[in-house]
């Protein structure tokens, strides 16, 4: 079940530490996304990237950072500035949307981060 | 503000009963709406999109612009339909999705 992978599946971190979540895709997709999933709140967009070396903040970017140095990879760093980092994190990728089309987003299996 | 509302956190039905998962949206302009589904231990995946007007696994959803709704319906629920369902709409020109809070559908034998 390849396509888009996330690692690790479970991650534990002490308060005050930064941690990086991995997201890799072999679908040749230009666009990649990071979402946070909390019970009762659905998915909220953290960051997205339409193309290599470019990314934009989503709705809840504070306390997070990303990079997009390679098309296949879009790692997310949860910094110590993120006040409530314990959550389930989902990565997704899609082709670049044309003016009159929607490109389906394909999701990874997720990483569950717990701050101790 | 662009928003998707799913008023029910949990919908519990018996096998063979009709199902309707509610979704309301607020969006200025012509919305593109979707239903995503997450089965137990599986990835979130696209179920259907309004623009395709298709039926997937017996589910249909009609966009009602007057009521700003996009409810998901199935006439006869099956146990394998038990999952988390998310309604979503596209925001802006960059394939950004805005998700509702989700509804858990539980189909009992």
Q: Say what percent of chain B tops pLDDT 70.
A: 97
Q: Please indicate whether, in this complex, the C-beta atoms of B102 and A42 are within 8 angstroms of each other.
A: yes
pLDDT tens across A9-54, in order? 999 999 889 999 999 999 999 999 999 999 888 899 999 999 999 9
Over residues B83-109, mean pLDDT: 89
Inter-residue contact A105 to A49 (CB < 8 Å): no
What are the chain A neighbours of B90 within 8 Å (beta carbons)? 102
For A20-29, A73-82, A95-104, which range has the lowest pLDDT when averaged over its residues? A95-104
Over residues A82-102, mean pLDDT: 82
Look at phi and psi of residue B26 and say left if phi exceeds 0, alpha if psi is from -120 to 50, else beta.
beta
Tell me if residue B79 falls in helix, strand or coil.
helix
Cα Rg of chain B (Å, integer): 13
Q: Inform me whether the C-beta atom of residue B85 falls under 8 Å from chain A C-beta atoms.
A: no
Residue A110: its pLDDT value, please? 95
Q: Please indicate whether, in this complex, the C-beta atoms of B96 and A105 are within 8 angstroms of each other.
A: no
pLDDT tens across B65-78, in order? 899 999 999 999 99
Residue A80: its pLDDT value, please? 87
Q: Inform me whether the C-beta atom of residue B41 falls under 8 Å from chain A C-beta atoms.
A: no
Residue B52 has φ and ψ, to the nearest 5°, of -85, -25
């Amino acid at each position: 079940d390849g396509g888009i992978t996330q690692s690790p599946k479970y991650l534990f971190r002490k308060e005050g530490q930064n941690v990086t979540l991995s997201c890799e895709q072999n679908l040749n997709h230009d666009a990649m996304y990071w979402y946070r999933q909390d019970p009762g709140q659905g998915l909220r967009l953290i960051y997205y990237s339409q193309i290599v070396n470019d990314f934009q903040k989503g709705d809840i970017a504070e306390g997070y950072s990303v990079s997009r140095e390679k098309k296949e990879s879009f790692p997310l760093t949860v910094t110590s500035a993120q006040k409530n980092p314990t959550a389930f994190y989902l990565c997704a990728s899609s082709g670049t949307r044309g003016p009159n089309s929607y490109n389906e987003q394909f999701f990874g299996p997720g990483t569950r981060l717990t701050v101790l | 503000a662009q928003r998707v509302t799913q008023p029910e956190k949990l919908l519990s039905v018996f096998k063979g009963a009709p199902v309707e998962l509610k979704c309301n949206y607020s969006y200025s302009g012509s919305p593109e709406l979707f239903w995503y589904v997450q089965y137990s231990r599986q990835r979130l995946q696209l179920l259907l999109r309004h623009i395709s007007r298709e039926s997937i696994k017996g589910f249909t959803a009609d966009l009602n612009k007057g009521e700003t709704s996009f409810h998901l319906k199935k006439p006869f629920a099956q146990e394998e339909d038990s999952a988390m369902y998310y309604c979503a709409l596209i925001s802006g020109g960059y394939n950004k999705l805005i998700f509702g809070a989700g509804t858990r559908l539980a189909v009992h034998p």
